[in-house]
Amino acid sequence: MELNLSESPTRSVRCIVKLGGAAITRKNELEEIHDENLEAVACQLRQAMTEGSAPSKVIGMDWSKRPRSSEIACDVDDLGDQDSSEFSKFVVVHGAGSFGHFQASRSGVHKGGLEKPIVKAGFVATRISVTNLNLEIVRALAREGIPTIGMSPFSCGWTTSKRDVASADLSTVAKTIVSGFVPVLHGDAVLDNILGCTILSGDVIIRHLADHLKPEYVVFLTDVYGVFDRPPSENDAVLLKEIAVGEDGSWKVVNPVMDLTNKKVQTSVAAHDTTGGMETKIAEAAMIAKLGIDVYIVKAATPHSQRALNGELRESVPDDWLGTIIRFSK
């Protein structure tokens, strides 16, 4: 079921945010969350969503027992006298990082073949891993007072056909937004009409959501300062500050002025990454920009990411801002 967005209040969605898996997990440690980054990102999201109108005291919404704790953190008494906070409409999508990719890669889930026992087992294992991460991200945002609702694409009816989105019931996402909640989706193992199953990446999910929800802007939070002309770990790597996207979806670097084409920009993919890494991210961001929606790729938990989340870059971009802007250019 698709939405008639001409009549939908979700047209006022302000921002879709992608939490990169490498930014919120420790990518070289199996199923290990980067707690410091996640806490910082949650705080920045709250500031961006409330646009400075947040109460002085954050009332957490995670009332469940935390690991290594004997008590439940519950601020119910404080809520009685608390004014309701107005949150602008955001949607959050996160990658898997050190969750899910290992299971999917080891079993070949991304290649399909559900008739094989190893693939079926890997499908289950992958979903256990990524939904565990989704829960922890929802809890982290809820502790910052953000009314988050975890939503798994598989459970919400997302399917693919040769890895392209074939169906996605966005009505639940729309109702969640209209009801004042923040949907938190994630890359997931899904059924594929041709392959049997595959991995639906968070970057593809964001492009589909952007196409239907038409946010004002999109922010990709990563573990590096943006898109570079080669892996940023290499010497002399250059940050590409602005990429222009043409009507045909092709893109070129416009800042800095370089003798580069998109074919010469080198990207790297971790051996266990089943979603395409930075190359997929750039391609999906270009498709979003083609819709007339600015995309910012920026390092998470930095002053630069706060500016991007706040929407400050839509009018002008300060010279000292570090990140990559991908924009449509007629």
Q: Domain holding 312: CATH number?
A: 3.40.1160.10
Q: What is the spatial distance between Cα 251 and Cα 74, in angstroms, rounded to a whole number?
A: 49
Q: How many C-alpha atoms does 234 have within 13 Å on its Cβ side? A: 11
3-state secondary structure of 189: strand
Residue 80's pLDDT is 61
Residue 110's pLDDT is 94
Instruction: Give the contacts of 120 (CB within 8 A, at least 6 positions apart).
Output: 114
Within a domain: 71: no
Within 144-268, residue ranges assigned H as helices are 171-178, 202-213
Within a domain: 167: yes
Residues of the binding site for substrate: 96, 101, 202
Within a domain: 73: no
Question: What is the DSSP secondary-structure string of 215-228?
Answer: -SEEEEEESSSSEE
Backbone angles phi, psi at 187, to 5 degrees: -60, 140
Within a domain: 75: no
Within a domain: 54: yes
Residue 58's pLDDT is 83
Q: What is the spatial distance between Cα 162 and Cα 107, in angstroms, rounded to a whole number?
A: 18
Within a domain: 150: yes
Classify the C-alpha dihedral 297-298-304-305 as positive or negative. Answer: positive
As for how many domains the chain has, the answer is 1
Residue 7's pLDDT is 46
Residues of the binding site for ATP: 97, 223, 277, 281
Residues of the binding site: 96-97, 101, 202, 223, 277, 281
Residue 132's pLDDT is 98
Within a domain: 201: yes
Within a domain: 74: no
Instruction: Give the contacts of 254 (CB within 8 A, at least 6 positions apart).
Output: 242, 243, 244, 329
Domain of residue 290 covers 5-65+83-328
What's the pTM value of the predicted model, to 2 decimals?
Answer: 0.90
pLDDT tens for each residue of the chain, 330 residues long: 445 444 454 558 999 999 999 999 998 899 999 999 999 999 999 999 997 565 557 888 999 887 766 666 666 666 666 666 678 999 999 999 999 999 999 999 999 999 999 999 999 999 999 999 999 999 999 999 999 999 999 999 999 999 999 999 999 999 999 999 999 999 999 999 999 999 999 999 999 999 999 999 999 999 999 999 888 888 888 999 999 999 988 889 999 987 644 445 654 444 444 444 567 778 889 999 999 999 999 999 999 999 999 999 988 899 999 999 999 987
